[in-house]
Amino acid sequence: MAAAAQSLPISIRGVSKHYGSVAALDNVSLEIAAGEFVTLLGPSGSGKTTLLNILSGFIRLGQGEVFFGDENVTLVPPHKRNIGLVFQNYALFPHMTVAENVAFPLNARKVPKAKIVERVKWALNLVKLDGFGERGAHQLSGGQRQRVALARAVVFEPKIILMDEPLSALDKQLREHMQIELRHLHETLGATTVYVTHDQREALTMSDRVAVLNHGRLIQLDKPRALYDSPVDAFVADFVGESTLLPVRRHDNESVTLNGTRLRTSRSLPPGDDLILVVRAEKLLPAARSASNVNLLPGRVREVVFQGESVAVFVELGQGQTVVMRHPTNQESLAALPTAGQETTLSLHPESTIVVPASR
Ligand SMILES: Nc1ncnc2c1ncn2[C@@H]1O[C@H](COP(=O)(O)OP(=O)(O)O)[C@@H](O)[C@H]1O
Ligand SMILES: [Mg+2]
């Protein structure tokens, strides 16, 4: 987080929005600090765009209030919110040059000509498009267009920037490159940023905190690491990271049973009887001969799949339950991996033995 002077906190208070009988948003409250980068993450239809459009003012909320700093903006129209916006589909003016596109918000704000030239140059430099000003918007690649859209969003130095899946039209390599660049851009600008994606890896890569939405409800708001290590329920555990979810029974306060095998956890179990064990693919290990102090899971290897940087090993634990164990492709870990058809024992450290309620 940087330069709080360049940013404003956002307070979303009890916001709901219905379309007929569909609750696009159901009583969502969220406090975003000045200068923070918060990502709205969730599957398609979970309400991400609806919430972003409520912040931009394009959609009227049904219930609740939105504050930017001390100002209640609930009824303020979009053009008076002074927000930088970036969408998935660039939305550049095709008949204009790059510079004209970027200058658009400044012209709309009646900024003096000389100042506009200076600001456009600054913004194009920021997105690494120096010298592209005179190009036609239609003469650019997808990645370049999205940079122009970014430059246009930040050229008037908004205190709040909203982005809705801005990278999802780009190919994987460019997308991953732009994720890091956007993160750096955020550090430079310091504006409070709300970013929408359905890609959990993108959310973990970019955000100070991630807000997970499902069916219009805010399920969990946490830092990336906490989201990954301590999902609040089976939905978050399944959506973030690669895991197998297995129903288990409570044994006592710190352990559960899976097919009669007792598994200890290093944290206290959640309340309720509907408990799910979250087995992260990379936390499973082939059990060392001397393994003690870990949970042991006997099984049979179904399949070993080479996938480039990692190898996935599918192990059937019994009763049709198959877990996936994933390891990096290096000599050391390859040598330790079992082969297809083999009986094996996997180990899971109590600290990596995550148990969540089926739902909250
Ligand atoms: N204009 C609309 N009319 C009717 N239903 C809508 C409208 N916009 C969104 N919805 C519904 O609201 C829910 C949330 O949509 P949306 O916010 O676009 O989700 P996301 O961006 O997470 O994919 C979905 O069920 C969607 O079908
Ligand atoms: Mg959307």
* CB distance 44 to ligand 1 below 6 Å: yes
Given this model, what pLDDT does residue 142 score? 87
* CB distance 49 to ligand 1 below 6 Å: yes
Q: 204 near 227, Cβ under 8 Å?
A: yes
Given this model, what pLDDT does residue 290 score? 62
* CB distance 214 to ligand 1 below 6 Å: no
Given this model, what pLDDT does residue 312 score? 94
Given this model, what pLDDT does residue 277 score? 97
DSSP of 299-353: EEEEEEEE-SSEEEEEEEEETTEEEEEEEESSHHHHHH---TT-EEEEEE-GGG-
Given this model, what pLDDT does residue 355 score? 97
Q: Which ligand is the nearest neighbour of the Cα of 213?
A: 1
Query: What residue type is assigned to position 217 of the chain?
Result: R
Task: Tell me which residues of the chain have a pLDDT lower than 70.
Answer: 1-5, 90, 289-291
Question: 49 CA distance to ligand 2 centroid (A)?
Answer: 4
Given this model, what pLDDT does residue 3 score? 44
- Per the rule left: phi > 0, alpha: psi between -120 and 50, beta: everything else, 121 is alpha
Looking at the whole model, is its pTM more than 0.85?
A: yes
Question: For the chain, which domains are there?
Answer: 4-229 (3.40.50.300), 242-357 (2.40.50.100)
DSSP of 105-167: HHHHTT--HHHHHHHHHHHHHHTT-TT-TTSBGGGS-HHHHHHHHHHHHHTT--SEEEEESTT
- pLDDT, one tens digit per residue, over 157-173 is 999 999 999 998 888 99
Q: Ligand 1, atom 27: nearest CA belongs to which residue?
A: 45
